[in-house]
Chain A
Amino acid sequence: MKTTDTPAPVPAESGTPVAKTDTRGGPARKEKKEGGVLNVFSHGMLILWAFMVVMPLLWAVMTSFKDDSSIFNSPWALPDKLHFDNWSRAWTDANMSDYFLNTILVVAGSLIGTLVLGSMAAYVLARFDFPGNRFIYFLFIGGMSFPIMLALVPLFYVVNNMGLLNTIHGLILVYIAYSLPFTVFFLTAFFRTLPTSVAEAAFVDGASHSRTFFQIMLPMAKPGLISVGIFNFLGQWNQYMLPTVLNTDPDKRVLTQGLVQLAASQGYKGDWSGLFAGLVMAMIPVLVAYIIFQRQVVAGLTAGALK
């Protein structure tokens, strides 16, 4: 486990690793000893895995354009024609539009909440010395390693007693609470790396603590906020366990939940093609986001594992 003082994010960008030292081409000859067999095997494995990753996704896209009978009779055949009606059926009849909307609401609310509350707590913990600082810090960090399921049973009743069961805002509050451990951990390390002089100067000039934070420290922490924001976005968008337990109202379902429910009820009236269209629909936003923000996603997620 890395200790907490690892300077925040950025696991080195690794497109061309270790490219610094160039050589004069001395030792190349030795490599010929390595048999072609090993080479073929290694490349073969790499290509095979790439296939194994891509094929199921392509298969899903293909299937989402087929009609039900060809899904069953010839799973790998190309669609006879593109059945776009699957997509429109999934979007409206199968409530995918509602699930999307719910997910967007929940994730937007909790993402903003997580970043604001997480950075406030992290800033105080990183920059101020007060009794109990260490204790609170470790209380937050401890949350990263215990099994969530253990807390879920009483959590259900806590949420229920507060009248927050099956509500969007209830879900938001719980998402925020469960995102705080990693967010606080990550941002505390990040705030420690920022220079203190700027904040001190602002304070001397008469800015209050909170003004210093919102107008000076937060903008400076932008790279850290982006990394941890992407990490939380993916985690919250993909969350399945929390909504399954805390959100049983059919109208409030989020994407993952809605799809699983649809599949469980025999793909709403045996409409498998529509279900596949829904599945693909749910995959598209994150895949697109990943391709666009590839570097940040990778930096954010790998930083997550180095806790």
Chain B
Amino acid sequence: MQHGKYRFIVGFLALPLGLYALFVVWPFIQSIYYSFTDWTGLSPEFKMVGLDNYRRMLDDEIFWKSLQHSLIFALVLPLVTISLALFFSFMINVGGRKRRGGPVVTGVRGSSFYKIVYFFPQVLSIAIVALLFAFAYNPDSGAINSILRGIGLGSVQPLWLGDPSLALWAVMAVLVWSTVGFFVVLFSAGMASIPADLYEAALLDGAGRASTFFRITLPLLWDTVQSGWVYMGILALGAESFAVVQIMTTGPGGPDYSTTVMVLYVYQKAFRDGQAAYATTIGVALLVVTLAFAALVMRLGRRERLEY
């Protein structure tokens, strides 16, 4: 297999690698370089300013707000989403009652229906989901307040996205809504590979659902949960949170920057305010936060690997 091997390798790699280097790697390296300049993005001229952008960032109140919100996103979203998804997928796959002659471990009735329906939001664009919920949250004519009125809670009519203390949570709820189904399916796939005799043994020993979950399912699923956690965190720090915050909250970024997140702030600085260099500086901070988050989850989540 040696004949013409290198020519072939080069020929096959040139185009994909070239595209990737040009549009992904090169901009990525450039952005770190630009963070040490005073480039506006509007004119080609710039000069090196050392750490000025980083100093400015540390004094920037809005940067700190965006960092704080991004951290809330990265911590609360995976926690809520993954807990819900674990509960649902346990019920769907293991929580069912034994039916005569059926398998020992089974999901509740209608489990495949739930799995299909829960996954719906995942295939919709996050931009479309965000738009839909922006309407649903509308205080006067939106679906949510209208339901509240309908069930006799007419006095409770939150402003939702217009209320600085609620807006961030309202936005996060949308991301939970759109991602739970994905994790239900992911965890279901993981649970399907747990051997049934483990459950059988637990049942014989009289274990209830809760202890079955905490003693068997969760430990054996731990790897999947952990990578799901990192995945969700990266998502919550990146593109998905950009879309929901930019589309749903006024400003965008909410009243008094109450919902701004780092990724949105990068966008605004670069493409609205003409401060490209400063934007890349915040981008570098976002990179650091993302890597730190992933490292932290991997480290805290480290456990002895269970073989089965």
Contacts and interface: CB of A to CB of B under 8 A. Distances in A.
Nearest to B226: A1
Contacts of A28: 98, 100
B171 to A, nearest CB: 15
Interface stretch (A71-79, A81-89, A90-98, A221-229): A71-79
A286 B294 CA distance: 31
Interface in A266-307: 272, 276, 279, 282-283, 286-287, 289-291, 294, 297-298, 301-302, 305-307
A306 B224 contact: yes
Contact of A158 (B23, B108, B209): B23
Given A26-B204, A124-B13, A150-B283, A53 B19 contact: no
Contacts of B107: 16-17
A197 interface: no
B223 A56 contact: no
A174 interface: yes
Interface stretch (B53-61, B120-128, B152-160): B120-128
A149 to B, nearest CB: 5
Given A46-B92, A50-B117, A151-B27, A22 B103 contact: yes
Contact of B97 (A31, A50, A181, A244): A31
Contact of A287 (B84, B120, B227): B120
A227 to B, nearest CB: 13
Contacts of B125: 237-240, 255-256, 282, 286
Q: Is the interface of A mostly helix, strand, loop or mixed?
A: helix
A181 B191 CA distance: 28
A30 B206 contact: yes
Interface in B47-98: 84, 87-88, 91-95, 97-98
B235 to A, nearest CB: 10
Given A117-B19, A158-B23, A178-B24, A150 B31 contact: yes
A305 B186 CA distance: 8
A57 B98 contact: no
A290 B192 contact: no
Contact of A290 (B28, B123, B150): B123
A272 to B, nearest CB: 8
20 contacts: A16-B103, A18-B93, A18-B196, A23-B103, A27-B204, A42-B108, A49-B114, A49-B118, A121-B16, A124-B9, A149-B242, A149-B263, A150-B28, A178-B24, A240-B239, A263-B134, A286-B124, A301-B122, A301-B185, A302-B186
The 6 closest A-B pairs by CB, nearest first: A11-B189, A238-B125, A150-B283, A177-B23, A17-B192, A256-B127
Given A15-B112, A59-B143, A156-B271, 16 more contacts: A12-B193, A13-B192, A14-B189, A20-B103, A22-B102, A25-B101, A31-B97, A49-B84, A75-B142, A120-B12, A130-B5, A147-B237, A150-B287, A152-B267, A158-B30, A240-B239
